[in-house]
C-alpha cells in the first residue's frame, strides 16, 4: 500500500513572527523554516505504518520554491522513501494545493493520503477536506488514532464533544491532529541515506493545474497589543463590567 | 531559566562564509560530507540538544549522580536521553564506517559537541569519553581488539573512560603505581591499583564500560618510560561479543564536585582485573596522547559552549529587564523603565561574551578543518602542515577558550545582578560547570608549558611558522585597503610584538627554563588573543561587504563586535607583553618558606 504525505515548509514554530512594514504579509527572508508540525506527525504516522508492515512505500510531497526540497529531505530522513517537489514561486492557496495533490494522487494511486490538519502559517484547515472532495474519497480529519483493516481505515477524530471514530473505505484522505503520535528525531544514518533518495521535480503546468490565487489578501496586521488587566472589588462589579463594558454577557 | 537555541546561523557563517566547508567533500572518504549534509545534521542535532538534553541540565545539576553499594546512578532522565542520543547514531558520527560509524568530518563533530555541551555539558561527558577510548583503540589496537571493542563503542551501547590519575599523581604520570602482571597468555595482564577522577567511570547508561588504563608492567623501566596502556572492560567480553563475568573493576566512590554534577567522577579500584595491552609495552604515554589531544580540543569546545549559553541567556535578560533609565535620558519612554541593555557597562559585558564566544568558535573551526585535512589529505606535505598547526593550536584552544569561558559565564552572572546568584536562573551553574574546563585534561598552566616548552621549539620552530606565515601574508595583502585599516593595523601591531616576544621567550628560556615557565601562561594568552584578532579582522572584512543585504543586522553585529575586539579586547596583549618581558625574577626571588 502506497502512502502519500504532504509536507509544507513553514516558518519554524519557535520564530517570533514579524509583519512586513508594507502589510502585504509576514517576514520570511532569513527566517528559520521547518516542516509544519502537523505534517511531521503525518510523516511519523506513515513511517509507523511502514514499520508495521501496513505500508509499502511512502512518498513525501511538498510545493513551493526550490528550498522546499529541504523539507522533503527532512521527511526522507524520517523514513519516507522518495519525494515529489512541485516547483512554484507563486502563492499556493489551499485549493491550488488540493488540485495539485489530486493530480499527483491520480498518477501515484496511493491508498492513503495524509496531511496535517492545518499549517501553522495560514491556519486554513482546508486542503485535506478539499482534496477528499476533489478526489471523491472518504475523509477522516483531526485524527488522533489510525487503525488500518482490510480495505478500510478506522480513524478516531478529535471533535468538540470528545472522540468520534469513523470507518473510511480506502483509498482515503486523513488529516492529523496533535495527539496522533510524537514524531521521532531523524537518526544520523537516516539523514545520510536521505541524501541518496530520489526527489522528482514537477511543475503545476506539467500537472495541468492552474494555481492562480482565487483569494486576495488585503492586508496583514499584527494582533492588537494586549491591554493591562484591572482588579475589581467584587463579583457584582465584575458582572457589571462584563455586561456593560465588555458586553460579553 | 537559561535559554539555548543552537546558533545555526553562526555555524553557516563559519562553514560557508569565513571558511569553505565545501572543500572537505573533496577529501577522500568525505564525499558525502557536503554543505547541505552539514546543515541537515546540525539542524537535527540542534533539535535533540534543545528539546532533550537542555531540559535535563538544571535538574541534572540539582539531583547529581548517586553512589550506593558500588552502583552509580545518573540523574533522572539521563538514561532515556542517552538512549535517544545513541539510537540516533550521534555516538557514531565521526567514527570509521568499518566499525559502524558514519565517517563524517571532525569539523561537523566539533559543532555537534558544542551544541551538546551548551545544552548539557555533564551529559556530553559520557559520549565524549567514549569517543576518546574509541580513538585510542582505533589508532593502536590490534585487529582483534578493534573487532571486539569498536563496534559497541561506536554504537554507544558500551562507553569508555581514560584512567590516568592516581591519588599521588595527576600531571606527573611517571609516578603511576597501578601495576600489570603478565597473566600467562600473550598480551593479557592482571591489573591492580586505584585510579581517581575517572569521568564516566561507572554509571547506568550502558551495558559495559571499556576502561583505558595506564599501568606499569612489573619489572618495566621506572618513570614515564615504563608506562603501558591497557584495555580493561567492566564486564569481560566473550569471543562471540557477548558479555561474560564481571571483571575485577569496582567503583569505590564518586566525587562531590563544584560543577558538572550529573557527570559521574569516580574512584575506580582495579583488583587483578583482566587487561589487554593496547599498543606496545612501555609506550603507553604515546598511545594515551592520541586521546589527550582530541580531548584537549574537546575541553576547549566545552568552554566555548558554556560561553554561548551564558551569552544567549544574558542577552535575553538584558533586553527584558526594565530597571532605571539610560544615563543620557530615556530610551524607551513608553515603558516603566529602560531595559538594562542601554547601559554602556552591560554592553561591555555582553560584547566581551560575544567577542570571546564567536572568536573562539572561529578559532576552533579553523583547527577542526585542519584536523580533517591532517587525516584525509592525499598530499603528505599538506597533512604535515595541518598536523603541525593542530599541535601548535591545541594548548591555546584548551587554555584560552576555557579561561574565557569562565570569564564569560561570570559576566553572565553579573548581568543578572543578584538573580545571577540564585540557582533557579541557572547562571551560577554555568560558572561552576565551566570551572572544571580550566583544570582537567592538563591544567591551563600545563597547556602553557606545552606551548612554550614543546610546541615552540619543535622542529626548529616549524609549528610556529604554520601560524605566522599565513597570518603575515593575509595582513600584508590588506595593508593598502583603507576600509580595513581599523582592523588590520591593530592586529598587525600585536602580531609583530607577538613575534618579538616569541624570540625573546625562546632565547631566554634556552638559558634558563624558569624564564620560559614564567612567561608561559601570558605568552599563551597573548598568542590566542592575536590569533582571535586575526580571525575577527577576517570576519570584519566579510561583514563589510554584506551590510546592504537583508541580513544587515547580523553583519552589523559582526562588524561592531570586531571593532569592540580591536578597541577593548586585543589591547590586553599590551599588558601581557609587558609581563612577559618582565621575566622570572619577580616570581622566583622569594624563598618557598617565606610565602
- Per-residue confidence at A1, pLDDT binned at 50, 70, 90? very high
B435: in domain: no
Express as a percent the part of chain B with pLDDT over 90.
95
Per CB-CB distance under 8 Å, the chain B contacts of A66 are none
pLDDT value, residue A14: 87
Tell me: do B13 and B138 sit in the same domain. yes
Can you tell me the mean pLDDT for B350-375?
97
DSSP for A42-106, written as a single string: HHHHHHHHHHTTS-SEEEEEEEESTTHHHHHHHHHHHT--EEEEEE--S---HHHHHHHHHHHHH
Tell me: do B88 and B195 sit in the same domain. no
Residues A162-177: pLDDT tens digits? 999 999 999 999 999 9
- Per-residue confidence at B239, pLDDT binned at 50, 70, 90? confident
Active-site positions of B?
Answer: 441
Residue A154 has pLDDT above 90, yes or no: yes
Residue B288 has pLDDT above 90, yes or no: no
B549: in domain: yes
- Burial tier of B54 (Cβ tally within 10 Å: 0-12, 13-18, 19+): buried
**Chain A to chain B, count of Cβ pairs less than 8 Å apart?**
50
Please report, for chain B, how many H helices and E strands are present, in that order: 17, 11
Tell me: do B77 and B186 sit in the same domain. no
Q: Distance between CA atoms of B34 and B39, rounded to whole angstroms?
A: 9
Tell me: do B88 and B167 sit in the same domain. no
Q: Distance between CA atoms of B494 and B527, rounded to whole angstroms?
A: 9
B553: in domain: yes
Domain end residue (candidates: B86, B120, B145): B145
Residue B291 has pLDDT above 80, yes or no: no
- Per-residue confidence at A240, pLDDT binned at 50, 70, 90? very high
Residues A110-151: pLDDT tens digits? 999 999 999 999 999 999 999 999 999 999 999 999 999 989
Among candidate residues B350, B232, B342, the one with its CA nearest the CA of residue B284:
B232
Cell of B389: 598547526
- Per-residue confidence at B405, pLDDT binned at 50, 70, 90? very high
Tell me B363's DSSP state. Answer: H
Can you tell me the mean pLDDT for B43-62?
97
Sorted by sequence, the CB contacts under 8 Å of residue B159 that are 6+ apart come out as B126, B127, B129, B130, B133, B153, B200, B203, B205, B206, B208, B209, B210
Tell me: do B201 and B113 sit in the same domain. no
Residues A192-221: pLDDT tens digits? 999 999 999 999 999 999 999 999 999 999
Q: Distance between CA atoms of B82 and B157, rounded to whole angstroms?
A: 10
Please tell me the least confidently modeled range out of B43-57, B291-305, B372-386.
Answer: B291-305
B581 half-sphere exposure, CB direction, 13 A CA radius: 11
Task: Tell me which residue in B37, B84, B89 faces A189 most closely, judged by beta carbons.
Answer: B89
Among candidate residues A92, A89, A97, A135, the one with its CA nearest the CA of residue A116:
A97
- Per-residue confidence at B191, pLDDT binned at 50, 70, 90? very high
- Per-residue confidence at B275, pLDDT binned at 50, 70, 90? very high
Tell me: do B581 and B463 sit in the same domain. yes
Task: Tell me which residue in B34, B36, B84 faces A185 most closely, judged by beta carbons.
Answer: B84
Domain end residue (candidates: B246, B264, B283): B283
Asked whether A54 and A46 are in contact (CB, 8 A), the reply is no
Residue A11 has pLDDT above 80, yes or no: yes
B101: in domain: yes
Q: Do B37 and A191 touch (CB under 8 A)?
A: yes
- Per-residue confidence at A30, pLDDT binned at 50, 70, 90? confident
- Burial tier of A234 (Cβ tally within 10 Å: 0-12, 13-18, 19+): exposed
Question: Alpha helices, DSSP H only, in chain A?
Answer: 37-51, 68-78, 94-108, 127-135, 188-194, 235-244
Domain end residue (candidates: B283, B317, B337): B283
Can you tell me the mean pLDDT for B4-23?
96
Domain with B210 in it: 159-283
Residue A228 has pLDDT above 80, yes or no: no
B39: in domain: yes
B26: in domain: yes
Q: Do A186 and B551 touch (CB under 8 A)?
A: no
Rg (CA), chain A: 21
Express as a percent the part of chain B with pLDDT over 70.
100
- Cα–Cα distances (Å) from B101 to B95, B97, B309, in that order, read 4, 4, 29
Among candidate residues B274, B292, B80, the one with its CA nearest the CA of residue B184:
B274
| Helix, strand or coil, per DSSP, at residue B151 | helix
B70: in domain: yes
- Burial tier of B286 (Cβ tally within 10 Å: 0-12, 13-18, 19+): middle
Task: Tell me which residue in B37, B48, B102 faces A189 most closely, judged by beta carbons.
Answer: B102
Residue B237 has pLDDT above 90, yes or no: yes
Q: Distance between CA atoms of B124 and B131, rounded to whole angstroms?
A: 11
pLDDT value, residue B126: 98
pLDDT value, residue B496: 98
Residues of B contacting chain A (CB within 8 angstroms): 5, 8, 32, 34, 36-37, 39-41, 44, 47-48, 52, 84, 87-90, 92-93, 102, 104, 550-551, 554
Tell me: do B507 and B542 sit in the same domain. yes
Can you tell me the mean pLDDT for B469-490?
97
pLDDT value, residue A150: 85
Asked whether A209 and A190 are in contact (CB, 8 A), the reply is no
Q: Distance between CA atoms of B536 and A144, rounded to whole angstroms?
A: 52
Tell me: do B194 and B269 sit in the same domain. yes
Tell me: do B182 and B266 sit in the same domain. yes
CATH of the domain at B178: 2.40.110.20
Residue B569 has pLDDT above 80, yes or no: yes
Residue B549 has pLDDT above 90, yes or no: no
Residue scoring higher pLDDT (B205 or A226)? B205
Tell me: do B113 and B180 sit in the same domain. no
Q: Do B32 and A186 touch (CB under 8 A)?
A: no
Tell me: do B167 and B136 sit in the same domain. no
Q: Distance between CA atoms of B275 and B163, rounded to whole angstroms?
A: 13
Contact status of A154 with chain B (Cβ, < 8 Å): no
pLDDT value, residue A135: 98
Q: Do B89 and A187 touch (CB under 8 A)?
A: yes
User: Beta B158-163 vs B71-73: how paired, if at all?
Assistant: unpaired
Q: How far apart are the first and last CA of chain A?
A: 53
Is the dihedral angle over the CA atoms B447, B453, B455, B461 positive or is it negative?
Answer: positive
Residue B329 has pLDDT above 80, yes or no: yes
Asked whether B92 and B85 are in contact (CB, 8 A), the reply is no
- Cα–Cα distances (Å) from B528 to A161, B347, B353, B400, B576, in that order, read 65, 23, 16, 6, 11
Cell of B392: 601548535
CATH of the domain at B13: 1.10.540.10
Rg (CA), chain B: 24
pLDDT value, residue A29: 81
Cell of B592: 618557598
Per CB-CB distance under 8 Å, the chain A contacts of B52 are 185
Q: Do A191 and B8 touch (CB under 8 A)?
A: no
pLDDT value, residue A53: 95
In B222-373, beta strands by DSSP E: 227-233, 235-237, 243-246, 249-254, 265-278
Tell me: do B189 and B86 sit in the same domain. no
Mean pLDDT, rounded, of chain B: 96
B139: in domain: yes
pLDDT value, residue B550: 81
For chain B, what is the domain count? 3
Residue B399 has pLDDT above 80, yes or no: yes
Can you tell me the mean pLDDT for B101-125?
97
- Per-residue confidence at A236, pLDDT binned at 50, 70, 90? very high
Among candidate residues B211, B33, B197, the one with its CA nearest the CA of residue B111:
B33
Per CB-CB distance under 8 Å, the chain A contacts of B36 are 70, 73, 195
Give the chain A residue whose CA is nearest to the CA of B49. A185
In A88-218, beta strands by DSSP E: 112-116, 138-149, 152-159, 162-169, 172-176, 199-202
pLDDT value, residue B294: 82
Residue scoring higher pLDDT (A228 or B374)? B374
Buried b (16+ CB within 10 A) or exposed e, B231-262: bbbbbbbeeeeeeeeebbbbbeebbebebbbb
Tell me B453's DSSP state. Answer: I
Q: Distance between CA atoms of A145 and A154, rounded to whole angstroms?
A: 8
Per CB-CB distance under 8 Å, the chain B contacts of A191 are 37, 40-41, 44
How many Å lie between the alpha carbon of A169 and the closest alpha carbon of chain B?
37
- Cα–Cα distances (Å) from B433 to B46, B305, B394, B409, B441, in that order, read 21, 11, 21, 9, 15
Cell of A33: 523554516
Q: Distance between CA atoms of B388 and B307, rounded to whole angstroms?
A: 28
Amino acid at each position: 500500500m502506497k502512502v502519500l504525505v504532504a509536507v509544507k515548509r513553514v516558518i519554524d514554530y519557535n520564530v517570533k513572527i514579524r509583519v512586513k512594514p508594507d502589510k502585504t504579509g509576514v517576514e520570511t527572508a532569513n527566517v528559520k523554516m521547518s516542516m509544519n508540525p502537523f505534517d511531521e506527525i503525518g510523516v511519523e504516522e506513515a513511517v509507523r505504518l511502514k514499520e508495521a508492515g501496513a505500508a509499502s512505500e511512502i512518498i513525501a510531497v511538498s510545493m513551493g520554491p526550490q528550498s522546499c526540497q529541504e523539507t522533503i529531505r527532512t521527511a526522507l530522513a524520517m523514513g519516507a522513501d522518495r519525494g515529489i517537489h512541485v516547483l512554484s514561486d507563486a502563492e499556493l492557496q489551499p485549493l491550488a494545493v488540493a488540485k495539485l495533490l489530486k493530480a499527483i494522487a491520480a498518477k501515484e494511486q496511493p491508498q492513503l493520503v495524509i496531511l496535517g490538519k492545518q499549517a501553522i502559517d495560514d491556519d486554513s484547515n482546508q486542503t485535506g477536506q478539499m482534496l477528499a472532495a476533489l478526489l471523491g474519497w472518504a475523509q477522516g480529519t483531526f485524527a488522533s488514532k489510525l487503525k488500518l483493516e482490510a480495505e478500510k481505515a478506522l480513524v478516531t477524530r478529535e471533535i468538540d464533544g470528545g472522540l468520534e471514530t469513523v470507518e473510511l473505505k480506502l483509498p482515503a484522505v486523513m488529516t492529523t491532529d496533535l495527539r496522533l503520535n510524537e514524531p521521532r528525531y531523524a537518526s544520523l544514518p537516516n539523514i545520510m541515506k536521505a541524501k541518496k533518495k530520489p526527489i522528482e521535480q514537477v511543475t503545476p503546468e506539467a500537472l495541468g493545474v492552474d494555481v492562480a490565487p482565487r483569494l486576495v489578501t488585503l492586508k496583514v496586521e499584527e494582533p492588537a497589543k494586549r491591554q493591562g488587566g484591572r482588579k475589581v472589588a467584587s463579583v457584582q462589579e465584575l458582572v457589571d463590567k462584563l455586561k456593560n463594558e465588555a458586553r460579553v454577557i | 531559566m537559561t535559554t539555548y537555541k543552537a546558533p545555526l546561523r553562526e555555524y553557516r557563517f563559519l562553514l560557508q562564509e569565513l571558511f569553505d566547508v565545501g572543500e572537505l567533500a573533496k577529501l577522500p572518504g568525505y564525499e558525502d560530507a557536503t554543505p547541505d549534509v552539514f546543515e541537515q545534521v546540525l539542524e537535527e542535532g540542534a533539535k535533540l540538544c534543545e528539546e532533550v538534553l537542555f531540559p535535563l541540565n538544571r535538574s541534572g545539576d540539582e539531583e547529581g549522580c548517586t553512589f550506593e553499594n558500588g552502583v552509580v546512578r545518573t540523574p533522572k532522565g539521563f538514561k532515556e536521553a542517552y538512549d535517544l542520543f545513541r539510537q540516533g547514531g550521534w555516538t557514531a558520527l565521526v567514527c570509521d564506517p568499518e566499525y559502524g560509524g558514519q565517517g563524517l568530518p571532525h569539523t561537523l563533530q566539533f559543532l555537534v559537541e558544542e551544541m551538546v555541551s551548551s545544552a548539557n555539558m555533564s551529559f556530553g561527558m559520557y559520549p565524549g569519553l567514549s569517543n576518546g577510548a574509541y580513538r585510542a583503540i582505533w589508532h593502536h589496537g590490534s585487529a582483534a581488539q578493534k573487532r571486539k571493542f569498536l563496534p559497541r563503542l561506536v554504537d554507544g551501547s558500551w562507553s569508555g573512560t581514560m584512567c590516568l590519575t592516581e591519588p599521588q599523581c595527576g600531571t606527573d604520570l611517571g609516578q603511576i603505581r597501578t601495576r600489570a602482571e603478565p597473566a600467562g597468555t600473550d598480551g593479557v595482564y592482571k591489573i591492580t591499583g586505584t585510579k581517581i577522577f575517572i569521568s564516566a567511570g561507572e554509571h547506568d547508561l550502558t551495558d559495559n564500560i571499556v576502561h583505558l588504563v595506564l599501568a606499569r608492567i612489573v619489572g618495566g623501566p621506572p618513570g614515564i618510560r615504563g608506562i603501558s596502556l591497557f584495555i580493561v572492560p567492566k564486564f569481560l567480553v566473550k569471543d562471540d561479543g557477548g558479555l561474560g563475568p564481571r571483571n575485577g573493576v569496582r567503583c569505590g566512590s564518586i566525587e562531590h564536585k563544584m560543577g558538572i554534577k550529573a557527570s559521574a567522577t569516580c574512584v575506580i579500584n582495579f583488583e587483578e582485573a583482566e587487561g589487554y595491552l593496547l599498543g606496545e609495552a612501555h609506550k603507553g604515554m604515546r598511545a594515551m596522547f592520541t586521546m589527550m589531544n582530541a580531548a584537549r580540543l574537546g575541553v576547549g569546545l566545552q568552554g566555548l559552549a558554556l560561553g554561548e549559553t551564558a551569552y544567549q541567556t544574558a542577552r535575553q535578560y538584558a533586553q527584558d529587564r526594565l530597571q532605571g533609565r539610560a544615563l543620557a535620558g530615556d530610551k524607551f519612554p513608553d515603558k516603566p523603565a529602560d531595559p538594562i541593555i542601554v547601559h554602556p557597562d552591560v554592553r561591555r559585558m555582553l560584547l566581551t561574551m560575544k567577542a570571546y564566544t564567536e572568536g573562539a568558535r572561529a578559532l576552533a573551526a579553523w583547527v577542526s578543518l585542519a584536523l580533517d585535512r591532517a587525516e584525509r589529505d592525499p598530499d603528505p606535505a599538506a597533512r604535515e602542515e595541518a598536523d603541525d598547526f593542530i599541535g601548535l593550536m591545541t594548548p591555546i584552544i584548551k587554555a584560552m577558550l576555557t579561561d574565557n569561558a569562565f570569564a564569560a559565564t561570570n559576566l553572565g552572572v553579573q548581568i543578572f545582578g543578584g538573580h545571577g546568584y540564585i540557582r533557579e536562573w541557572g547562571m551560577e551553574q554555568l560558572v561552576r560547570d565551566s570551572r572544571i574546563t580550566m583544570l582537567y585534561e592538563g591544567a591551563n598552566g600545563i597547556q602553557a608549558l606545552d606551548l612554550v616548552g614543546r610546541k615552540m621549539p619543535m622542529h626548529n620552530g616549524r609549528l610556529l611558522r604554520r601560524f605566522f606565515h599565513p597570518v603575515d601574508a593575509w595582513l600584508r595583502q590588506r595593508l593598502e585597503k583603507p576600509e580595513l585599516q581599523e582592523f588590520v593595523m591593530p592586529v598587525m601591531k600585536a602580531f609583530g610584538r607577538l613575534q618579538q616576544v616569541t624570540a625573546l621567550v625562546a632565547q631566554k628560556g634556552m638559558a634558563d627554563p624558569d624564564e620560559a615557565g614564567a612567561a608561559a601562561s601570558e605568552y599563551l594568552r597573548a598568542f590566542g588573543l592575536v590569533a582571535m584578532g586575526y580571525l575577527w579582522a577576517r570576519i570584519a572584512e566579510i561583514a563589510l561587504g554584506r551590510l546592504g543585504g537583508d541580513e544587515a543586522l547580523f553583519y552589523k553585529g559582526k562588524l561592531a563586535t570586531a571593532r569592540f575586539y580591536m578597541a577593548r579586547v586585543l589591547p590586553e596583549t599590551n599588558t601581557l607583553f609587558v609581563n612577559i618581558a618582565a621575566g622570572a625574577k619577580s616570581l622566583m626571588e622569594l624563598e618557598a618558606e617565606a610565602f
